[in-house]
Structure 1
């Protein structure tokens, strides 16, 4: 890994690598050594992150109220049907993501998706910043 940069203290890391799979495994091993337990890593290329932004089904909504749940695999098809605590949230499945619009704000939601334990959520503003960091040379 090279050109390693972090963004805010929620586990966002931007870096260059000729071996993304090897980098993912190395990060997972280092985090497990540090934390004493397995810690999952979600890895996306700059283009994949840009694709996530482009595929956002809530383009007209306030970006700070749109969360993207990043997963390593495709979300289960029944994710929307088995959502718990849903109020005004809108949920759309992506390729390896779940897009969630939180009209009342992320901090007020009671929404629970079983798949949330397998991933990590970032708002669209954060994703945009990470894309910019990854593409700035």
Structure 2
């Protein structure tokens, strides 16, 4: 049941729990988010995916969460936050499959950055910009991708965290 003035959010943490580095237990993440006054906190797998409800907006939440996580875990964590409406726009119109991923970008892109990326040929990889995020289709899998995570960040001058379509769908189910 929706509560007036309260929105659901999806929070993505970048670069945690990779090869034993930058360890963030999901139970601790849930505890910190709950301590901040966020409600209905849930996490999905160990790669830093959380959903929660709040009456605060993105501009207030991001620095609040960033500071709390830095204090708790002792290192800065790049965060991406999307409202339920933004998330549903990401997850609903795009054909999906096991070779589909989404690169969640840190900010809205400058038109000239998008144009420069459009001018390049990454075949057979395909991409579509929806809102602040790139939908990626890697028909030969991520290992053979020409449009890599590092290239996306460098060419677009934006931090990105990438999730596969299975994770996008799982988080969609949690926010509904």
TM-score of the aligned structures, taking structure 1 as reference length: 0.79
How well do the aligned residues superpose, as a CA RMSD in angstroms? 2.3
- Counterpart selection for 1:9 from 41, 46, 52: 46
Match of 2:102 in 1: 68
The structure that has the greater radius of gyration is: 2
Contact 2:51 2:175 in 1 (8 A): yes
Alignment of 1:23-102 (within 5 A): 23-56=61-94, 59=95, 61-62=96-97, 64-75=98-109, 76-77=113-114, 78-81=116-119, 86=122, 88-102=124-138
How many angstroms apart in 1 are the aligned matches of 2:70 and 2:100?
A: 30
Contact 1:69 1:116 in 2 (8 A): no
Question: Are the aligned partners of 2:124 and 2:138 in contact in 1 as well (CA < 8 Å)?
Answer: yes
In structure 2, runs of 5+ residues without a counterpart are 1-37
Higher strand fraction: Structure 1 or Structure 2?
Answer: 2
Residues in 2 aligned to 1:80 and 1:11: alpha-carbon distance in whole angstroms: 30
Give the number of equivalent residue pairs: 129
